[in-house]
Amino acid sequence: MDFDFSDDQQQLRDAVRKWVDKGYSFERRRAIVKAGGFSREAFGEIAELGLCGLYVPEQYDGMGMGPVEGMVVMEELGRGMVLEPLNQSLIAAAVLSGYAPDAIKAAWLPRIASGTALVVLAHQERAARYQLNVCAATATQTANGVTLTGVKSLVPAGDQADAFLVPATLESKLALFLVERSASGVSAQGYGTQDGSRAAEVTLQNAPASLVTLEGLAALEHAVDIGIAATCAEAVGVMDKTLALTAEYMNMRKQFGVAISSFQALRHRAADMKMQLELARSMSYYASLKLGAPAPERRAAMARAKYQLGNSMRFVGQQSVQLHGGIGVTDEYIGSHYFKKLTQLEMTFGDSLHHLGEVSARMQDTAGVFA
Amino acid sequence: MDLAFTPQEQQFRADIRAWVGENLPADISHKVHNAMRLSRDDMQRWGKILGKKGWLGHAWPKSFGGPGWNSVQKHLFEEECALAGAPRVLPFGPVMVAPVIMAFGNAAQQQRFLPGIASGEVWWSQGYSEPGSGSDLASVKTRAERRGNNYIVNGQKAWTTLGQYGEWIFCLVRTSNEGKPQTGISFLLIDMKSPGVTVRPTVLLDGEPEVNEVFFDDVEVPVENLIGEENKGWTYAKHLLSHERTNIADVNRSKRELERLKRIAKLEGVDSDTRFRDEIAKLEVDVVALEMLVLRVLAAEKSGKNPLDIAALLKIRGSEIQQRYSELMMLAAGPFALPLIREAMEAGWQGNFPGGGNWCAPLASTYFNFRKTTIYGGSNEVQRNIVAQTVLG
């Protein structure tokens, strides 16, 4: 058992942090939000750091790294509230490497690694909420191949992405497909989301698709679990920064002639935030270290982790706003954007109530990390 | 970074499990698994079994006869004991006073006191809190005045856990009123059979005399029982409290008790009630998160890199979890947690508990008793002050 980061992992963290601090200022972020919530240029800079290829095997020009490296990178991107969805490149790389036929791997993995292709998961449907086995989109086998028909919502940077990983029902069984945005019958209507990032409603009308795998549910669950671990790590970075900002403000802000950090009621609130942050960090480690476990164990672990993270995010976010007072509810102040980021992350890949249900349903007679 | 224990650690765990399986008396583990009343003999019997093996002081360094285990090995040992249903080793001797004697006592004191602690022969009690000194421990008033080769001790200690069995007590006593309150405190070992020592039980809200008041009336204590230097006791006490906090999180016992909660929920049929089941699920996540927090601290201790200053978090969370499982157990039994039948908490009771569920007998008592967990060992509010200090300065 070991929770230290290797020197290489520390260097990776330092490199990402340096880019976030120097290259992704709050002003730049604000400009990107204003321009729609996604910058291909910024995404290219992330790719130049090699991050898009983190989970791409070396034979396909990637770095072939694992969940701990993914966690380190996502924590740092979280600290800067980076809008460009690197987690989608991690998901796509892992899912295609694990499930796709060689031709798709060869065609897409090098492009994902270089950042020239942004491939995103397009699984959310209106009636599904957070259930992965609910899918109205259908796949039809035609003489010229498979076509998909359906509507997918909240597709990350969906009108900017180059291709989608799309679950659809083929002969009453969920399968996973790759659809290019430029294909016929594909339309993407983009919009901003609450945290400033970009999403799209993607409509597929007899759109030509490539089969990734017939084991659609297994692949989708795996994809979402990678997304959960990445979200947990990202959230730790966001919360870390949120608590630091809050502490800084409490020591600076004076009322009744003294710094508000001298009031015990507020100090205890800060202590409770620290508690939630450290529980969250612990469970983020747990999520990343369980990503390689067999599916049932992995799924149970992700539900536990996301439940903890969701609760921690809500607490840290809400209390940060409260402890800031009036400034905390202004758009001008950076802290309010961290709160919105945390709120959106709680509702990404399953909110706390959903995951409580998952934990409850999967509960065994045993207890603990290794149960 | 790796969540798995090494093959050597897994072998270590297997060895411990086998030994505990062979040596833990079945009547004792039966009582522990069912929260029945443990006698003085039960507690001391297990302590002596560990002592004989050299494991009562399992955290002790080799130079003092301990096994020399690292933090992970210690944790695995404690976990295997807890899961097997071993009684919690009373910390006062081996966990609390022994490290102080090792670090600050002289060779004669070490030779005199450590063997009896290591073997479990001598029952130690803690003399810290006083009626006027709870969270503000530095305000202790029990006086020790030097007279020839003795200290003459006068005053009163409070909340002394199981002090009715105590043979020796380590005390914080005031030897000076000069300067800050912290600088006038000394650390004294007192034979409880000394004339002038009176122990009076305090019955707690569960009806049990778990703690005591200890009165000192002109008690003569030889100066050779002073640990370290006069007026330096506060430093030694802080050393001791840092040991107590990690011990107090007790995540291993919480894992065992969460399993028991699930068994009780099944017996009561509430495991299929969504509202109740979800409450257990929340606790399950709380326990996993606490265990991860504990493992992080242990791993940091083992590797020596990145020391984590989160001991205060462990105490807060650990105690909250203990209260929650005891609360849920009581709520699981519902109205059948309400009959107060003390004999039903004894092993081998032949009576019929109202409604027939004998497991219900101790649930409310444990719930009442566990209100102590967020108060003792530095109240959770004091712990939050410590945590806030790390966040805000």
**What are the pLDDT digits (tens) for A50-59?**
999 999 999 9
Domain that holds residue A97: 7-117
Does residue B115 lie within any of the structural domains? no
A56 CB-side CA count, 13 A: 26
Chain A partners of B385 at a C-beta cutoff of 8 Å?
264, 267-268, 271
Chain A partners of B285 at a C-beta cutoff of 8 Å?
283, 304, 307-308, 359
Chain B partners of A2 at a C-beta cutoff of 8 Å?
1-2, 299, 303
Q: Are residues A353 and A285 in the same domain?
A: yes
Nearest to B259 among A9, A290, A365 (CB): A365
Q: Are residues B375 and B256 in the same domain?
A: yes
Q: Are residues B135 and B75 in the same domain?
A: no
Token pair in block for residue B263: 């068994």
- The last residue of one of the domains, among A161, A189, A214, is A214
Residue whose entry in the numeric block shows the structure tokens 């321009």: A35
For residue B251, give how far its alpha carbon lies from the nearest alpha carbon of chain A (Å). Answer: 9
Q: Are residues A290 and A170 in the same domain?
A: no
* Cβ partners under 8 Å of residue A281, min gap 6: A236
Q: Left (φ > 0), alpha (ψ -120 to 50) or beta: where does B129 sit?
A: beta
Q: Are residues A268 and A192 in the same domain?
A: no
Residue B108 burial by Cβ neighbours in a 10 Å radius (0-12, 13-18, 19+):
exposed
Nearest to B187 by CA among B134, B236, B241: B236
Nearest to A157 by CA among A94, A224, A84, A228: A84
Token pair in block for residue A151: 């509507």
A316 CB-side CA count, 13 A: 37
Does A2 contact B299 at a Cβ distance shorter than 8 Å?
yes
Chain B partners of A359 at a C-beta cutoff of 8 Å?
281-282, 284-285
Token pair in block for residue A256: 């009744």
Chain B partners of A251 at a C-beta cutoff of 8 Å?
392-393
Answer yes or no: are the C-beta atoms of B290 and B321 closer than 8 Å.
Answer: yes
Does A3 contact B293 at a Cβ distance shorter than 8 Å?
no
The angle, 0 to 180 degrees and rounded to 10, between the axes of the packed helices A216-252 and A67-79 is: 40
Nearest to B181 by CA among B139, B132, B142: B139
Where residue A282 falls among pLDDT bands split at 50, 70, 90?
A: very high
- Report the C-alpha gap between B30 and B93 in whole angstroms: 25
Number of A/B CB contacts below 8 angstroms equals 141
B-contacting residues in A 129-188 (Cβ below 8 Å)? none
Helices (H) and strands (E) in chain A, counts: 11, 9
- The last residue of one of the domains, among A117, A151, A176, is A117
Q: Are residues A245 and A341 in the same domain?
A: yes
Q: Are residues B386 and B256 in the same domain?
A: yes
Does B285 contact A290 at a Cβ distance shorter than 8 Å?
no
Nearest to A85 by CA among A343, A341, A304, A352: A341
Q: Determine the pLDDT at residue A229.
A: 98
Q: Give A226-256 as a DSSP string.
A: HHHHHHHHHHHHHHHHHHHHHHHHHHH-EET
Does residue A159 lie within any of the structural domains? yes
B-contacting residues in A 298-357 (Cβ below 8 Å)? 304, 307-308, 356-357
Q: Determine the pLDDT at residue A150.
A: 98
Q: Determine the pLDDT at residue A55.
A: 98
- When divided into structural domains, chain A yields a total of 3
For residue B105, give how far its alpha carbon lies from the nearest alpha carbon of chain A (Å). Answer: 35
Residue A196 maps to which CATH number?
2.40.110.10
- Report the C-alpha gap between A60 and A1 in whole angstroms: 32
- Report the C-alpha gap between B298 and B5 in whole angstroms: 12
Does residue B364 lie within any of the structural domains? yes
A250 CB-side CA count, 13 A: 28
Q: Determine the pLDDT at residue B303.
A: 85
Q: Are residues A88 and A172 in the same domain?
A: no
Does residue B295 lie within any of the structural domains? yes
Domain that holds residue B155: 124-232
Q: Determine the pLDDT at residue B308.
A: 72
Q: Are residues B166 and B256 in the same domain?
A: no
A-contacting residues in B 143-162 (Cβ below 8 Å)? none
Chain A partners of B284 at a C-beta cutoff of 8 Å?
304, 359, 363, 367
Q: Determine the pLDDT at residue B139.
A: 96
- Report the C-alpha gap between A194 and A272 in whole angstroms: 26
Chain B partners of A5 at a C-beta cutoff of 8 Å?
1
- When divided into structural domains, chain B yields a total of 3
Instruction: Return the C-alpha torsion angle A239, A240, A241, A243, nearest 10.
Output: 80
Q: Are residues B288 and B315 in the same domain?
A: yes
- Report the C-alpha gap between B20 and A108 in whole angstroms: 56
Answer yes or no: are the C-beta atoms of A86 and A73 closer than 8 Å.
Answer: yes
Query: Could you give the angle at the alpha carbon of A57 between the alpha carbons of A89 and A156, nearest 5°?
Result: 5
Q: Are residues B270 and B201 in the same domain?
A: no
Does B1 contact A68 at a Cβ distance shorter than 8 Å?
yes
Q: Are residues A222 and A357 in the same domain?
A: yes
- Report the C-alpha gap between A165 and A213 in whole angstroms: 11
pLDDT tens-place values along chain B, 393 residues long: 999 999 999 999 999 999 999 999 999 999 999 999 999 999 999 999 999 999 999 999 999 999 999 989 999 999 999 999 999 999 999 999 999 999 999 999 999 999 999 999 999 999 999 999 998 999 999 999 999 999 999 999 999 999 999 999 999 999 999 999 999 999 999 999 999 999 999 999 999 999 999 999 999 999 999 999 999 999 998 877 666 556 678 999 999 999 999 999 999 999 999 999 999 999 999 999 999 999 998 888 888 876 677 878 999 999 999 999 999 999 999 999 999 999 999 999 999 999 999 999 999 999 999 999 999 988 999 999 999 999 999
For residue A29, give how far its alpha carbon lies from the nearest alpha carbon of chain B (Å). Answer: 28
Does A1 contact B6 at a Cβ distance shorter than 8 Å?
yes
Nearest to B196 by CA among B220, B228, B212, B177: B220
Nearest to B384 among A5, A6, A268 (CB): A268
Q: Are residues B40 and B11 in the same domain?
A: yes
- The residue-averaged pLDDT of A149-164 equals 98
Does residue B352 lie within any of the structural domains? yes
Q: Determine the pLDDT at residue B306.
A: 64
